Amino acid sequence: DAGVIQSPRHEVTEMGQEVTLRCKPISGHNSLFWYRQTMMRGLELLIYFNNNVPIDDSGMPEDRFSAKMPNASFSTLKIQPSEPRDSAVYFCASSPGQGRYEQYFGPGTRLTVT
Amino acid sequence: AQKVTQAQTEISVVEKEDVTLDCVYETRDTTYYLFWYKQPPSGELVFLIRRNSFDEQNEISGRYSWNFQKSTSSFNFTITASQVVDSAVYFCALSVPYNTDKLIFGTGTRLQVFP
């Protein structure tokens, strides 16, 4: 079975540009999570969705960040405009629900903003 | 409030040594889940185990074993006969699904296994 798929795996962009990260969760999972990992701040939850509905976006740093989940098999995290401090590894994870709360992580997108 | 503490930031061992990674959690809820994840140098986060608060049986999977003790709010992870491939950052996490689907992660323990 395919795991969580993220694209792109690496992204290098200039400050001020729009960046869109994509995620395809594991089929049948009903929760999706976006995380950011940096050396300084560790692993931070940005937002999560349950049945495609955003449940908690309290971790989204500021209005420059937005996330959508238009259907059960696709989600995007957008940063507009990007800044150097957004450089990090962004992970998407999905969870089966129905009594199973473990999250399965994608390989991550390494974002570098110059 | 919920919290996970991994007091060991970094551990170094020589291959074939046994090593235990500590995890202490805090929650007032009676129903919760505990997890361990592995993050090898390649960067992905790999789910290792889930334990619910009603099941205190220890678990063994090959060289890995987990000791869950509610009395001390601990969920420790032991690797027996460590190998170089065990080198990674290991995260302990807590979930209280009554409130939220979030995982509360510890800060991780970096394990280095030297040949």
Set of chain B residues whose Cβ sits within 8 Å of the Cβ of A55: 100-101
Q: Is B97 on the interface with A (CB under 8 A)?
A: yes
B33 contact A CB<8A:
yes
Residues of B in contact with A93 (CB under 8 A): 45
Average the pLDDT over A15-31 and give the result.
96
Report the alpha-carbon distance of residue B24 to residue B4 in Å, rounded.
Answer: 6
Residue with tokens 């334990």: B51
Taking only the tens place, the pLDDT of each residue in B73-92 is 999 999 999 999 999 999 99
Task: Please give the Cα distance from A74 to A68 (Å, whole number).
Answer: 9
Q: In this complex, is the C-beta atom of B11 within 8 Å of any C-beta atom belonging to chain A?
A: no
Range A28-46 average pLDDT: 94
CB contact under 8 A, B107 and A42: yes
Residue with token string 């869950």 = B68
Q: What is the pLDDT of residues B88-106, one digit of tens each?
A: 999 999 998 876 788 999 9
pLDDT digits 0-9 by tens, B30-49: 999 999 999 999 999 999 99
* Closest chain B residue by Cα to residue A3: B46
- Residue A14 pLDDT: 97
User: Tell me, what's the pLDDT at A43?
Assistant: 93
Q: Is the peptide bond before A81 cis (omega within 30 degrees of 0)?
A: yes
